[in-house]
Amino acid sequence: MTVLERHSVGLIEDDPVMGESLTQGLTLEGLQVSWWQSGAEALKALSRPVVPDVLICDIRLPDMSGEAVFEALVRAGGSPPVLFMTAYGDIDQAVRLMRAGAADYLTKPFEMGTLLGRLAALVPGDASTAATDGAVLGVSPVMRILERDLSRLAGASGPVLITGETGVGKEVCARHLHHLSRPGAPFIAVNCAAIPADLLESEIFGHEKGAFTGAAARHPGYAERARDGILFLDEIGDLPPALQGKLLRLLEERAFHRLGATAPVPFRARVVAATNTDLPTAVAEGRFRADLMYRLNTFTLDIPPLRTRPEDTGWLLDRFVTRFVAEHPDGPVRGVGALAEEAARAHDWPGNVRELRNRVERAVAMGLSPWLGPADLFPPARWTGGGGADPEAPAALADIRDAAERRAIEGAIRDADGQLREAARLLGISRTTLWEKMRRLGLSG
């Protein structure tokens, strides 16, 4: 199997001869090709949750430039790596695109072999994680890109910083990196905020016998126990100042001292740190060392909040329901109903994936009917009990209905290519009703 086999590629090319021949050549290599002949067609297809692993885009398209397609993708939350095809005179534009984050470009005419070689460098290393079936962290474009970045980072050894709100899955992401890069080696997780400051130093670096009162025996710390695996330092923003200096030395000298020891111990693990606090602010306020932040953020991965990636809400909901239903085979719950899915999409998820997981676990354990409804995910006590101040309170039923209507109307308008008469027909309502709904929901045609 070649590196390209089973990967998906999106081809944006208006010229039918060129498009046909590229589609044929790429398909022969085992790639799954989707070919679009205009920028608009491509953008419409790429707005779906599942996007190709890599895009090949002509720089001149009938309706917009390749540059505009790329900008729209980036603005919409991220783009798979894009290889641009340029004509000789477009080199300046290609250089500009590379600066803006495009992955590569080829000047026409080119050999098929050259194109395949360039593509091989852009597809993720592991085909099983590239397919959506193999998605680990999510199916939204931004999470697919994050997974691709993780597989690239797997080959490096420098520290990685993972940022994001509480419960977005920073540890899950660190564990995935471990799985991709050092699966047989230890994964040692340390919550810097949970261990009392005066214990943290000996917990991380270990101590010799007699190093302090009560140190009855030599104790290897987390750094030593991580061996050649991953040392995951969660809530790194809470690391006490004295330990920040020690961690910086460990990273720079690749060695550390157990408390009370004179000889250094070599450090072979990879440090992955995570934080939900803003490190630059902590640095500005003097709570975190700037030099340590710069050492840690060589590779930074930011996981966006769940509310900004609704595709993942549906996907994770299904996964958790499947998992917890399997754990309660004798219970009445079989799956999740459409209204509960709507309610989940309309909810803000302040606790992110952790909140979703907990709500599903509770709903499956307590549910009385085969299909979970909104009230199973968001029990009635929450509907009234919080008086509106409860951060986990769900959206009201009216909000759920509005969100559902908004999505249905937007989908119909898209499918009808902007023709409101046709959109109303698709929705089975009159044009006046459609127009009134659009006005109430603040939608423009």
Q: Interface residues with ligand ATP (CB under 6 A)?
A: 137-138, 164, 166-172, 234, 274, 276, 353-354, 357
Would you say 105 or 324 has its CB closer to ligand ATP?
324
Pick between residue 169 and residue 374 the one whose CB is nearest to ligand ATP. Answer: 169
Instruction: Write down the least CB distance from residue 319 to ligand ATP, Å.
Output: 6
Of the two residues 9 and 192, which places its CB atom closer to ligand ATP in the complex?
A: 192
Q: In sequence order, which ranges of 367-396 are alpha helices (DSSP H)? A: 374-377, 380-385
CB of 191 to ligand ATP, least distance (A): 7
Q: Which is nearer to ligand ATP, 71 or 171 (by Cβ)?
A: 171
Taken in order 153, 159, 165, 171, the sign of the CA dihedral is positive
CB nearer to ligand ATP: pick between 323 and 431: 323
Q: Is the peptide bond before 266 cis (omega within 30 degrees of 0)?
A: no
Report in angstroms how near the CB of residue 399 gets to ligand ATP at its nearest: 24
**Is 25 buried (19+), middle (13-18) or exposed (0-12) by CB count in 10 A?**
middle
Question: Using CB atoms, what's the residue nearest to ligand ATP?
Answer: 169
Q: How far is the CB of 139 from ligand ATP (least distance, A)?
A: 10
CB of 217 to ligand ATP, least distance (A): 31
Q: How much helix, strand and coil, in percent to the nearest 5, is found in the chain? A: 50, 15, 35
Compare residues 208 and 234 and give the one whose CB is closer to ligand ATP: 234
| Residues shown for the chain | 445
Q: How far is the CB of 247 from ligand ATP (least distance, A)?
A: 18
CB of 259 to ligand ATP, least distance (A): 27
Q: Residue 261 to residues 193, 224, 264: CA-CA distances in angstroms?
A: 26, 14, 7
What are the Cα distances from residue 351, in Å, to 76, 113, 120, 310, 359? 24, 48, 39, 15, 10
The answer to whether the CB of 83 falls within 8 A of the CB of 107 is no
Please give the Cα distance from 392 to 380 (Å, whole number): 12
Asked if omega into 109 is within 30° of 0 (cis), the reply is yes
Tokens of 276: 């939900």
C-alpha span between 431 and 282 (Å, rounded) = 54
Pick 34 or 277: Cβ nearer ligand ATP: 277
Contact 265, 257 (CB under 8 A): yes
